[in-house]
Structure formats: C-alpha cells, structure tokens
Structure 1
C-alpha cells in the first residue's frame, strides 16, 4: 500500500470510494450524501484549505482521508478537520485506515498545522491520538447531533488549549445533516 497526497488525477475514484463505503455501512442515502459532499469539497475548496490523503494499491484507491481548514475568529492557530474518511470495505480491519491517518497527521504537522479535529468514533480515532473534546475547547461550526464524537488533538504536543472565537468551516461541510 502506498500513501500519497496526489489526488487530482483520481478525483472520481475518490468520490466513488466514499459513496460506496458509506452506502455499504450506512445505506444508499448516506452514500449519496457523502459522495455529493466530497464532490463539492474537491471542486469548490481552495487548494490551501484542503489536504487529501490516499492509500493506493495496484487495484486503486483503498482509503481516503479529507482534511479541510477550520477557522476560529479569535485564534491564529492553523486548524484542520478530518471529514470524511473512508476505507474500502474489503480493507477494513487491516490497519489501512490507521496507517493512512498516521501518514496524514505527520504531513499536517510538517505543513504547519497546529490542531486536528474530527467528528466520529472515538474507539477508532483515539488509536491515532484523537481524544474527546467539548465545545468549551473547540466550538463546532454547527450543532452536533452526537457531541461524544467531537474529537481533537494538538499536533504540536501537549494538551489542546481552547480555540478562541466562533468556528467556521469550508462550504462543503456547512450542511447541518453532516453534524
């Protein structure tokens, strides 16, 4: 498995991976929703506000993790949120997702990102350094339907000091049904 940040020549393959993976786990409506979100993310997010990480084998893209910029009105730290992430169903449980995230987080650190956030399963994401946080540490840009899934980590080491000010995310994530 090779890990890369090169996605521009694989955009449709990435979109298809997300749609198929979320359809398999959550149903057709969720697969369509996430596929559409990734399409918007890839086509409308400024290059400096998007990091895409892929796990690629001889047969194609096996996993993908999308990180987009979040801003906090009164905080100068560079913050990116992981959303969404997908691992092909036939690769799940093999460590591909964790390896991809370790690659991604190292790349983010090397590119000056201070804080990584995500919204998901603590049992999975805690394996790569995410911990449960509350909105007094980092406000979400929209109301959270599952507050226990709000996770973060300081990529510079040490505890995550509260992020200051109102939160804003890229347009692709501004759909309340995603939160």
Structure 2
C-alpha cells in the first residue's frame, strides 16, 4: 500500500470513494452529504488548513482521510480535525483505515501539530489513540448531536489541557448537519 497527499489530481475519485463508503454504511442521504463535504473540502479549503492522505494499491484508491484546521481564539496550539475517513467498501475490515489514520497522525506530528480531534466512534478511533474529551477541554465549533463521540489526542506527548476557545472550523464544516 502506498500513500499520497496529491488530492487535486485525484479529486473526483476521492469524492466518489467517500460518497460510496458512506452510502453503503449509512444510506444514500449520508453518502450524498459526505460526498458533497469531500468535494467542498477539496475545492474550497486553503492548503494551509487542509491535509488529505489517500491509500493506493496497484493504481486503485483504497481509502482517504481529511484533516482540517480548528482554530481556537486565544490559544496558540495547532489543532486539526480528522474527518471524514473512508475506505472503499471492498477493502473494509483489512486494517486500511487504521493504517491510514496512523500515517496521517504521524505526518501531523512531524509537522508540529499539537492536537488531533475527531467526532466518531470512540471504540474504533480509540485504537488510534483518541480518547473521549469534554467540550470544556476541547470546545467544538458546532453543537454536538452525540457528545460521547467528541474525542481527541495530544500529538506532542504533553497532557491535553483546555483550549482557549471558541473554536472555529473551516467553512465546509461550518454546517450543523455535520455535527
């Protein structure tokens, strides 16, 4: 498996894999929502606020992951939101998602990012080092429909101490339907 950060050349394939994976898992409406989110992230988010990692094998796209900047007014730490994550349905259950997450987190560590946050299944993402976090420690940029899914990790080894908020996300994520 090879990793790539070239999301502009493969934008169409990336959007399609996200739409297909979320359609298979959660239905056509969710697939359309996440496909549109992936498209907006690629087209509208500045390169300084976006990191995209994809996994490939023999020319086939196996999965992808987005990281977007979260900004906290009054806090100098660098924070990225990991979402969404998708693996092609034919390749799920083979550890590709976990390896892609580990690769992305390692790249962020090397870049000097302080904290990674995601909003999802604590059991799945817990295998990658994410732990439940209160919004008093890591404020969310939108009201959370399922606060138990708000999870984070320090990428520096320093304890996760409260961020001085409020939080601001990239424009594509500034939609209550995604939270």
> Which TM-score applies when normalising by structure 1?
0.98
Which segments of structure 1 move beyond 4 Å, counting only runs of 4 or more? none
1:29 is paired with a residue of what secondary structure? helix
Q: Which moved more, 1:156-165 or 1:35-44?
A: 156-165
**Structure 2 CA distance, aligned partners of 1:130 and 1:5?**
23
Q: Please state whether the residue corresponding to 1:30 is helix, strand or coil.
A: helix
RMSD over aligned CA atoms reads 0.8
Aligned residue for 2:164? 164
Q: State the partner residue of 1:153.
A: 153
Structure 1 window deviating more from structure 2 (52-61 vs 117-126): it is 52-61
Q: Distance in 2 between matches of 1:106 and 1:4?
A: 14
Q: In the alignment, which residue of structure 2 is the partner of 1:174?
A: 174
- The Cα of 1:59 is off from its aligned counterpart by 4.4
Partner of 2:79: 79
- Between the aligned partners of 1:125 and 1:4, the Cα distance in structure 2 is 22
State the partner residue of 1:115.
115
Checking the alignment, whether the CA contact within 8 Å between 2:3 and 2:54 is kept in structure 1 is: yes
- For structure 2, the 5+ residue unaligned runs are none
Q: 1:112 to 1:158 in 2, by over 3 A?
A: closer
Alignment of 1:27-42 (within 5 A): 27-42=27-42
The match for 1:131 is 131
Deviation at residue 7 of structure 1 after TM alignment: 1.7
Corresponding pairs, count: 179
* Structure 1 gap ranges (5+): none
- For 2:44 and 2:10, locate their aligned partners in 1 and report how far apart those are by CA, in whole Å: 16
Distance (Å, rounded) in 2 between the aligned partners of 1:37 and 1:4 = 20
